[in-house]
Structure 1
Amino acid sequence: MLSFVEGRMVVGCVPCHARRMDEQHPHEVDLEITGIAHGGVSVARLDGRVVFVTDTLPGERVRARLSDTSKRSFWRADTVEVIEASPHRTAHVWAEAGIDRDPSERAGGAEFGHIALTHQRALKAEVLTDSLARFAGLRRDVEVLGVEDDDATDGTGWRTRVRAHVDADGVVGPFASRSHRVIPVAGYPLAVPAAAALIPSRLAPGTAEWVDVVAPSAGEPVVLTGSGRTPHGGAGIVERVGDREFRLDASGFWQVHRNAAAVLSSAVASAVASDGRFDPAAANHDLYGGVGLLAAALAGVGGASTRVTSVESSATATEFASENLADWIGARAETARVDRYLDGLARTASPRERERLRAATIVLDPPRQGAGAAVVDRLLELRPQTLVYVACDPVALSRDLGRLLAGGYELGGLTGYDLFPHTHHVEAVAVLHRG
């Protein structure tokens, strides 16, 4: 069963028994967990009200401490004791996030770390499948695939980019969940070892608000510190995908999982090559193109003369994209917001260019909030032959897919990838064709 509470998707939310708060523990209740919600929390009900519960999973009975009762429609709670454990529960991969610690002292960023890896993927598939049904009107089971080597390491050692925060006393560590409280930790099990080894435990107070460690696939790791959104210094780095190198700024965007760039490049290239509709001479695009990773995947299918334009709002990333795409004579990089760029195409494209756009394959890899109505509506107006949508948020993806399907596109393949083990995040690649 699927329902929604203030916009949050709830999977399997059905009434369950809960013991009321008692005099000894006025903020604790016993709950039966019946479903999973988008966002890494599980679901129970207390006197008919939805309760979102951390550090548990469907099928468990837990004692939970109410942490937020300010909303009329739902409450929040943190598990403090497991009364009846799911067979899918495991010891947490991060000791400082374990159930034996007080919720306020648990490190955030590994909210699925107590769940067996294969079951994490099943839960992510459930959320993705039900999101598609709710927001896109699609009844389709979706598989979430694991990534090479993750099973061998139990989903640890994959993060090539790690941010730790610094408190007023100079203590360095992750934030606690839904908090700006810095938690000191002995290690970072989700990080690649080269990155984990360089995160300090303390800095001089006032030196910085955060520490980033970037461990590229080629070259030595880079340590950045900063305040607000501004890094103190920067450096150019090289990432290698197959036999191709991509240059970028150390503080710029790149996929976090050590194998994610290769996985997504392969998924995009395979989707484009397999359907026989790709036209190298069309006005192909990579929207939200970053430093040109997926534009290169497109161009790799079509060959040296492939026409492809990467569109990215960061001028720094666009400069790198121009360099990274230099092997293809038909490739170029544009610095622009995607919505404004598409507005310009819709206004100024010649009849010949509109024909090339209709024959085009367009890849879009938007930020977590999705492409949104303005971008989707422009795509519906321009009506390219094929869309390859790379998404990191199931609900945002489903909303955009719903709009595209209503506008006449048909969904071909859709596959999930577990590029964020031990977190609730999931990547998906959807392929659509003009009907």
Structure 2
Amino acid sequence: MGENAGRDVELTLERMAHGGVAVGRLDGRVVFVSDAIPGETVRARISDDRKKSFWRADTVEVLEPSEHRRPHVWSAAGIENPPGRRAGGAEFGHIALAHQRELKRGILVEALQRMAGLEVDVEVEALPGDDDRGGLGWRTRIRLHVDEEGRLGPMAARSHTVIPVTDAPLATDAVQAATPFEERFSGFDTVDVLVPNGSDARLVIGEQKPTVIHERVGDRSFALDDTGFWQVHREAPATLTRAVQDAVDVELFDPRAGNLDLYGGVGLLAAAVADRFGPSTRITSVEADPRATDHASENLAEWLGAGAESGRVDRWLRALQERTAGDRSPLDGATVVLDPPRSGAGVDVMAALGRLAPAQLVYVACDPVALARDVALAEAHGYRLARIRAFDLFPHTHHVEAVATLIRD
């Protein structure tokens, strides 16, 4: 750190940046400020001055508060705690819920305009029950870290410091009840607590061997590992199922084409497509984790045309291209659903899809900047953004989910 680290400065915040930090300026330099809201004037403490182009700071006092400021929903994360001792994972917890969604909408709209040259009108939609609960009680699974005394807690933002806590208000009541906050777990790094919708509550302590659980979505049950990926919001699997079903352009969908669910996990979205278009639907889920692929095979077994293959998506698509014979693409007329990790699909995958030329892409994104980049890449291959919806799958955090339909002109 340089000589400015630890210095207190007064800043007026201009806008919200991607990542949940507000933007201020100090002598022309950009300063990213945590725990602040655009329009506020705050006293902030410089935490990182190593970059020439920007610094980071933490709010320590609000001098002129926004009308949207609220007492933080998690006392362990509020500005009453010293910088560096604030629990991470609820960085929007000091902002009124409706305004959180407006800020997320702005980030998504700005990313699409800046990176893809698109002007879009989109609303960040609340999930069922969240407004009634004040955006609390939605996490069906949490990961807590273990400090040097064996106590449980999240890490502070941009830090490896564990903040011991006695509650987790973003978690469901069942998860909070199952979390052993008072116990000590010396010798372990992490403790996962989950209460699946279809299985009993369980703890995963350290690097335990995975065991199979079941998650229920509507009338359907999905097998998966307790250590595997699953949407954490209690309503997210059902919401994304409906959103993907609605996002598919029916006029372009061919149940006999080589339809794909890329980054398919245990088959949630492949099942959504097959449920929507019937028992003759042909769709293949592609997933890098072989155990998830095994579960997807089981979860999709009722559809004769559905299956799952294990492999890295970029390599799998490359192999598909290499097997292509003649002028007809194996994805001719196909619908491709993709739900990549936060980093997005990226250049290689989007280029491969561009060459294989499916009829439409349904892109499920948890990062607006990665989505905007990939939309721009798709546009270079002749696709246009036909529709987009956004969902507040992560209240009191800066994260937002989007479902976009890209159609080949």
Per the TM superposition, whether the score is higher than 0.5 is yes
Q: How does 1:285-300 map to 2 (within 5 A)?
A: 285-300=260-275
Aligned to 1:82: 62
The amino acid that maps onto 2:243 is A
Q: Is the contact between residue 175 and residue 182 of structure 1 (CA under 8 Å) also seen in structure 2?
A: yes
1:97 aligns with 2:73: no
Question: Cα–Cα, structure 1 residues 300 and 63, in superposed 2: closer, same or farther, change >3 Å?
Answer: same
Equivalents in 2 of 1:171, 1:411: separation in Å? 48
Q: How does 1:49-198 map to 2 (within 5 A)?
A: 49-198=29-178
1:27 aligns with 2:7: yes
Q: Is the contact between residue 74 and residue 93 of structure 2 (CA under 8 Å) also seen in structure 1?
A: yes
Q: Is the contact between residue 147 and residue 418 of structure 1 (CA under 8 Å) also seen in structure 2?
A: yes
Q: Is the contact between residue 199 and residue 211 of structure 1 (CA under 8 Å) also seen in structure 2?
A: no
1:237 aligns with 2:213: yes
Q: Secondary structure at the match of 1:223?
A: strand
Q: Secondary structure at the match of 1:82?
A: strand
Question: Cα–Cα, structure 1 residues 377 and 83, in superposed 2: closer, same or farther, change >3 Å?
Answer: same
Equivalents in 2 of 1:26, 1:335: separation in Å? 49
Q: Secondary structure at the match of 1:276?
A: helix
Aligned to 1:221: 201
Equivalents in 2 of 1:198, 1:358: separation in Å? 49
Aligned to 1:385: 359
- String of CA shifts for 1:122-163, please: whole Å, max 9, x gaps: 000000000001111112222111111000000000001100
The amino acid that maps onto 1:52 is F
Equivalents in 2 of 1:33, 1:58: separation in Å? 5
The amino acid that maps onto 1:96 is A
- String of CA shifts for 1:227-263, please: whole Å, max 9, x gaps: xxxx213321111111111110110001010000111
Aligned to 1:402: 376
Q: CA deviation at 1:37?
A: 0.3
Equivalents in 2 of 1:285, 1:85: separation in Å? 49
Q: How does 1:362-381 map to 2 (within 5 A)?
A: 362-381=336-355
Aligned to 2:179: 199
Equivalents in 1 of 2:316, 2:330: separation in Å? 16
Equivalent pairs counted in the alignment come to 406
The amino acid that maps onto 2:167 is G
Q: Note the residue ranges of structure 1 that are not aligned, 5 or more in a row.
A: 1-20
Equivalents in 2 of 1:205, 1:36: separation in Å? 38
Q: CA deviation at 1:264?
A: 0.6
Q: Is the contact between residue 30 and residue 62 of structure 1 (CA under 8 Å) also seen in structure 2?
A: yes
Aligned to 2:16: 36
Equivalents in 1 of 2:290, 2:154: separation in Å? 30
Equivalents in 2 of 1:46, 1:141: separation in Å? 33
Aligned match for 1:320, one of 287, 292, 295: 295
Aligned match for 2:316, one of 320, 326, 341: 341
Q: Secondary structure at the match of 1:108?
A: coil
Equivalents in 1 of 2:256, 2:369: separation in Å? 34
Equivalents in 2 of 1:298, 1:335: separation in Å? 19
TM-score by length of 1: 0.91
Q: CA deviation at 1:203?
A: 5.0
Q: CA deviation at 1:207?
A: 2.7
Q: Is the contact between residue 324 and residue 330 of structure 2 (CA under 8 Å) also seen in structure 1?
A: no
Aligned to 1:18: none
The amino acid that maps onto 2:255 is P
Identity %: 56
| Higher RCO (CA < 8 A, seq sep 6+) | 2
Equivalents in 1 of 2:226, 2:182: separation in Å? 22
Q: Secondary structure at the match of 1:413?
A: strand
Equivalents in 2 of 1:390, 1:26: separation in Å? 40
Q: Is the contact between residue 287 and residue 312 of structure 1 (CA under 8 Å) also seen in structure 2?
A: yes
Q: Secondary structure at the match of 1:155?
A: coil
Aligned to 2:403: 429
- String of CA shifts for 1:94-146, please: whole Å, max 9, x gaps: 01111211122211100000000010000000000000011111122221111
Q: Is the contact between residue 117 and residue 422 of structure 1 (CA under 8 Å) also seen in structure 2?
A: yes
Equivalents in 1 of 2:49, 2:135: separation in Å? 34
The amino acid that maps onto 2:138 is W
Equivalents in 2 of 1:418, 1:26: separation in Å? 35
Equivalents in 1 of 2:380, 2:185: separation in Å? 54
Aligned to 1:269: 245
Equivalents in 1 of 2:216, 2:164: separation in Å? 33
Aligned match for 2:223, one of 247, 253, 257: 247
The amino acid that maps onto 1:255 is Q
Q: Note the residue ranges of structure 2 that are not aligned, 5 or more in a row.
A: none
1:280 aligns with 2:255: yes
Q: Secondary structure at the match of 1:181?
A: coil
The amino acid that maps onto 1:210 is T
Q: Is the contact between residue 112 and residue 422 of structure 1 (CA under 8 Å) also seen in structure 2?
A: yes
Equivalents in 1 of 2:98, 2:35: separation in Å? 17
Q: Secondary structure at the match of 1:357?
A: coil
Q: Is the contact between residue 166 and residue 203 of structure 1 (CA under 8 Å) also seen in structure 2?
A: no
Q: Is the contact between residue 291 and residue 318 of structure 1 (CA under 8 Å) also seen in structure 2?
A: yes
Q: Is the contact between residue 339 and residue 375 of structure 1 (CA under 8 Å) also seen in structure 2?
A: yes
The amino acid that maps onto 1:269 is Q
Q: Is the contact between residue 279 and residue 302 of structure 1 (CA under 8 Å) also seen in structure 2?
A: no
Aligned to 1:350: 325
The amino acid that maps onto 2:283 is V
Equivalents in 2 of 1:56, 1:206: separation in Å? 35
